Structure 1
Amino acid sequence: MMRVSVGDASLTNILARQGADLRGQVQRAAQEVASGKHSDIGATLRGDFAPLLAIDASLSRLSAYRSTATDAAVHTAAQQSAISGLSQLASGISTALLGARDVSTPAQVNTLAADARGRLASAVGLLNTQASGRAVFSGQATNTAPLGSAEDMLTALETAAVGATTAGQVAAAVTTWFNDPLGFGAFYQGGAGLSPSPIAPDETADLSTTAMDPTIRDTLSGFAMAALLDRGALAADPSERARLAATAGQNLMRGEEGRITLSARIGTVEAQIETARTRNGAEETALGILRSDIGSVDPYEAATRLETVRAQLESLYLVTARVSRLSLTEYLR
């Protein structure tokens, strides 16, 4: 029988290679026990990364939808708050204005006019609301406030109403200006309505409401009619001033239904966005769990393998130590 002998140097190299291999196995097993993940996902999937890539692509899309849906939710919430504020401003003065023609004195009309002027400024401020640094009623021109100041608006309206001597003429001039592309249309500094925002696969949210919305223009028109009285409109005729105040009150009260409808429309979009966010979140969670399962390791199996490899390494160290002590002198003792 032929014997194959191994020299000392060769034996040392063999033991060193085995030690390095076992140490690598211990390190990988320890990493898997600590992280709960396979150290070599490619080997686990046998080179077939298609399922993992598909999950990652879906998670990436859902992440993008989460971002756009969050932006849309912030946008519509800011719009809803502004419309609610407009309704409160209008309801707080419309009844008093409506009764100005019958029971108010000139001094009371003056007080209402000053109040309306302040409310017009507040309304303009609400419509210039920004959310996350973007104007929410400016359409595509999100970096620009949609409206100039209330005083600039009243100055333009005074020019439009030059020569008007009755409440009806002033009211008609104001209404015409707000409907005129060269009037309020030119005063509006925003852009066209925003394009529908994608919030989920095959689903978009309508964010097209701007300060050019007819309901918003009608509300501003009502405030402006009364505010012009505080700028001296019809100053020589107290009765016509009272009639203009009453007309402004009628406009604001008549516009309440439009504001409710606009608020409901925005609220519907808010509900749609929230539903989409909930659905996307559930899908993202499910895909995240699935992805984790693909790369996860059985903790019991990993711990058992770690102990097995560690025992093998300790045995190798013991053998190596004994081999290193082999010599003729030790043999002859």
Structure 2
Amino acid sequence: MTWSIGGSSSFQFNFFSRQNVQSTTIALQKAGQEVATGRKADIYEDLGSRASSVMRLRASEADTQTYMKSNALLGNKLQAMLTSLDSARGRIQAVLETTLSNATRPQNGAEVLQQDAKAALESIVATLNISFNGDHLFSGLRSEVPPLTRWSETNATTGLSPADAMASIFGGGPVSAADAAAIADQIDAAFNSADTANPNRNFETTFYGGSPAQTASGQPSKQVNAWVNNGQEVVYGARANDEPFREALKGLAMLAVTDVSKMDDAAYATWMDRVVTSLTKGQEGILQVSARVGFNQQVVETTQTQLTDLSLVRRTQISDYESVDPYEAITRMQSLETQLQASYQVSARLSGMSILNYLR
């Protein structure tokens, strides 16, 4: 009797069985990942040509998130600026009230105006020298340096302090109304950075160190700006050398340089009239700056709301592309588990089978 054994057929069967187990295992791992994450395991393979749409959506969403993070930072900066402006206006208002009550002649606290003005200058300089994340908010594009020099602090570049510069202009003080007007005119020139007799006394040399009001060619310097959305720019900068700040600081400096209560009556009236004018302009101008900052704050908040809504829509669209049906994924995983278990059982039974069992 002759026995014919097909060894090659048994080998092929085992080979195919192993391949089936391997492919089923890979598919089960993929299904398990999808059940765990709720997303397609291989998005681009599953989506095919639609994958480009997901790529575009993800790129747009990344831009949106960048704008949202930047806007959150900008919103905090604007709030810090607004708080500083309100604080500065409060100090100016307090000095202005005392000045107005002594506008024509010294009668109610004029003898303490010099000390009040010095204290207000110190407070306002500290307030406007505020920095946020390393950027000085009132220095313009030169945000790496504080904008203002303290009243008694020597400027390293000019060797003068603001107090020295004012004392140099004030000299022995006015003895008449005409003298008071002439000295006030010189102070105007210095605070407009137009003192050609001694440029070191100019506001933008000794008092202020941020971005200048004008470029070398005489054009207005750019203010700080930010892009809050694609194609949407906000110019939000406010420099400590803008006219309202210069006027306010000039009025305070005119009080801080001397004890006005000891002036000649005619000189006193002229001097105080110029002080009131400067402080009033500064107060009103800083209020307008505050309004502009507040408006920019509203723009940022509105844009942030729009970006949040847009991000929600985009993320929903991305989820529609990338997410899997959890019930379908679980059913598929269970089916693959059953299939794999059956494959293992068949493999185990085949491995236990031998022709010798039939020849004994």
TM-score scaled by length of structure 1: 0.89
CA–CA distance in structure 2, aligned partners of residues 196 and 93 of structure 1: 33
Asked if structure 2 preserves the Cα contact closer than 8 Å seen for 1:72 and 1:205, the reply is no
Alignment of 1:91-106 (within 5 A): 91-101=93-103, 104=106
Return closer, same or farther for 1:122/1:193 CA change in 2, 3 Å cut-off: farther
Return 40-49 or 53-62, whichever deviates more: 40-49
CA–CA distance in structure 1, aligned partners of residues 64 and 181 of structure 2: 56
Give the corresponding residue for 1:52.
54
User: What code does the residue aligned with 1:209 have?
Assistant: A
Secondary structure of 2:48's match? coil
Secondary structure of 1:46's match? helix
Give the corresponding residue for 2:350.
323
Give the corresponding residue for 1:159.
168
Match of 2:232 among 203, 211, 219: 203
CA–CA distance in structure 2, aligned partners of residues 135 and 101 of structure 1: 36
Report the Cα offset of residue 243 of structure 1. Answer: 6.2
CA–CA distance in structure 2, aligned partners of residues 208 and 103 of structure 1: 39
Give the corresponding residue for 1:190.
210
CA–CA distance in structure 2, aligned partners of residues 236 and 104 of structure 1: 9
Return 247-256 or 196-205, whichever deviates more: 247-256
Give the corresponding residue for 1:214.
243
Asked if structure 2 preserves the Cα contact closer than 8 Å seen for 1:82 and 1:126, the reply is yes
Report the Cα offset of residue 317 of structure 1. Answer: 1.1
Alignment of 1:231-310 (within 5 A): 237=264, 240=267, 244-245=271-272, 247-310=274-337
CA–CA distance in structure 2, aligned partners of residues 92 and 282 of structure 1: 45
The Cα offsets for residues 164-188 of structure 1, whole Å up to 9 and x where unpaired, read as: 4144344333222211244113232
Report the Cα offset of residue 35 of structure 1. Answer: 0.5
Match of 1:312 among 325, 339, 343: 339
Return 79-88 or 135-144, whichever deviates more: 79-88
Number of residues of Structure 1 aligned to a counterpart in Structure 2 = 328
**Higher RCO, 1 vs 2 (CA within 8 Å, ≥6 residues apart):** 1
Asked if structure 1 preserves the Cα contact closer than 8 Å seen for 2:95 and 2:117, the reply is yes
Asked if structure 2 preserves the Cα contact closer than 8 Å seen for 1:82 and 1:127, the reply is yes
CA–CA distance in structure 2, aligned partners of residues 53 and 23 of structure 1: 29
Alignment of 1:79-228 (within 5 A): 79-101=81-103, 104=106, 108-151=109-152, 152-162=161-171, 164-166=173-175, 167-181=180-194, 182=199, 183-187=202-206, 188-191=208-211, 192-228=221-257
Asked if structure 1 preserves the Cα contact closer than 8 Å seen for 2:106 and 2:261, the reply is no
TM-score scaled by length of structure 2: 0.82
Return 169-178 or 153-162, whichever deviates more: 169-178
Secondary structure of 1:190's match? coil
Asked if structure 2 preserves the Cα contact closer than 8 Å seen for 1:65 and 1:200, the reply is yes
Asked if structure 2 preserves the Cα contact closer than 8 Å seen for 1:157 and 1:174, the reply is yes
Q: Which runs of 5+ in 2 are unaligned?
A: 1-5, 153-160, 212-220
The Cα offsets for residues 32-87 of structure 1, whole Å up to 9 and x where unpaired, read as: 11111111112211244320121122112213322332333233222212211111
CA–CA distance in structure 2, aligned partners of residues 326 and 35 of structure 1: 42
Report the Cα offset of residue 24 of structure 1. Answer: 1.0
Report the Cα offset of residue 102 of structure 1. Answer: 5.5
Alignment of 1:56-71 (within 5 A): 56-71=58-73
CA–CA distance in structure 1, aligned partners of residues 117 and 224 of structure 2: 35
Return closer, same or farther for 1:236/1:247 CA change in 2, 3 Å cut-off: closer
Report the Cα offset of residue 240 of structure 1. Answer: 4.5
Return 6-15 or 118-127, whichever deviates more: 6-15
Report the Cα offset of residue 124 of structure 1. Answer: 1.1
Asked if structure 1 preserves the Cα contact closer than 8 Å seen for 2:244 and 2:286, the reply is yes
2:42 aligned with 1:22: no
Report the Cα offset of residue 313 of structure 1. Answer: 0.6
Q: Which runs of 5+ in 1 are unaligned?
A: none
Secondary structure of 1:194's match? coil
Secondary structure of 1:255's match? helix
Asked if structure 1 preserves the Cα contact closer than 8 Å seen for 2:170 and 2:257, the reply is no
Return 204-213 or 296-305, whichever deviates more: 204-213
Report the Cα offset of residue 236 of structure 1. Answer: 6.6
Asked if structure 1 preserves the Cα contact closer than 8 Å seen for 2:174 and 2:263, the reply is no
